[in-house]
Amino acid sequence: MGAPTPPPAVRPRTIFYVDGFNLYYGAVRATPSLKWLNLERYCKLLRPHDDIILIRYFSALVTGLTRANQETYLRALSTTPLVEVVLGKFKQKNVKCGVTTCNSPGQKWYQMPEEKRTDVNIAVFMLDDAYQNACDQLIIFSGDSDLVPAINMVRRRFPAKKIIVYVPSRDPVRGAAVELRTAAHVNRTLPLHLLSKSQFPSQFQDGSGGVVSRPLTWV
């Protein structure tokens, strides 16, 4: 008799937590043709040996001319079974002018939008998923150090769970993210070569009788 067949390897149950704006500004903004990213396909290419349970995509609706493009992209994401969109919001914030060449430096104020709730939403979902034992691995796409306390808490309360960070960045300075990388069990820079392999078709059915088309400026 031959040697017994070893049991199949257990695939770790994995949930992704994607900071949408961090991903956008760090990896795809400079290359319009990569903005039409099929996040589910990307994650499957990135982690082919994982049992991907869910991909949470965290963002907030912008204002202005790019709002229509963003809404089209969120609609595209909604057609992928594993992606769940979690929206925060923007809040107007009063900021003092810091331009030294201004006629009245430090005396003029203006309003600028500030994204709210994304980091808190990611932290809350990470802890909740860990408490419910919904996964074995938590994978984060971000470079934001505000997530460090949540990572530390998951590691403290659930030492058997593995946390992996992928920092979206084309810039070594931006991609340093030392605090966040140090907090995780494993850290990597997000692989950019997979982006071009993970694009939605230019036009496809949304499953409800409609058609989703790539924004004209994303080519």
What is the domain range of residue 178?
A: 13-89+116-213
Q: In whole angstroms, what is the distance from residue 15 CA to residue 18 CA?
A: 10
Structure pTM?
A: 0.87
Express the helix, strand and coil content of the chain in percent, nearest 5 each. Answer: 30, 25, 40
- The reply to whether 94 falls in a domain is no
What tokens were used for 36? 């039409």
- pLDDT of 97 reads 57
Structurally, how many domains does the chain consist of?
1
β-bridge mates for residue 213, sequence order: 203
The Cα-based distances of 86 to 18, 140, 151 in angstroms read 10, 14, 19
- The reply to whether 4 falls in a domain is no
Residue 172 φ then ψ, to 5°: -55, -35
- The reply to whether 64 falls in a domain is yes
- The reply to whether 44 falls in a domain is yes
Maximum pairwise Cα distance, the chain? 90
Model confidence over 136-177: pLDDT tens digits? 999 999 999 999 999 999 999 999 999 999 999 998 887 899
Among residues 62, 54, 61, the alpha carbon closest in space to that of 17 is found at: 54
Among residues 121, 57, 113, the alpha carbon closest in space to that of 88 is found at: 121
Q: In whole angstroms, what is the distance from residue 91 CA to residue 86 CA?
A: 17
User: Residue 156 sits in a domain of what CATH number?
Assistant: 3.40.50.1010
The answer to whether residue 65 scores a pLDDT higher than 50 is: yes
How far is CA 132 from its chain centroid?
22
Among residues 87, 82, 75, the alpha carbon closest in space to that of 55 is found at: 82
- The reply to whether 49 falls in a domain is yes
What pLDDT band is residue 113 in, cutting at 50, 70 and 90? very low
- The reply to whether 145 falls in a domain is yes
- The reply to whether 107 falls in a domain is no
How far the first Cα of the chain sits from its last, in Å, is 60
- The reply to whether 7 falls in a domain is no
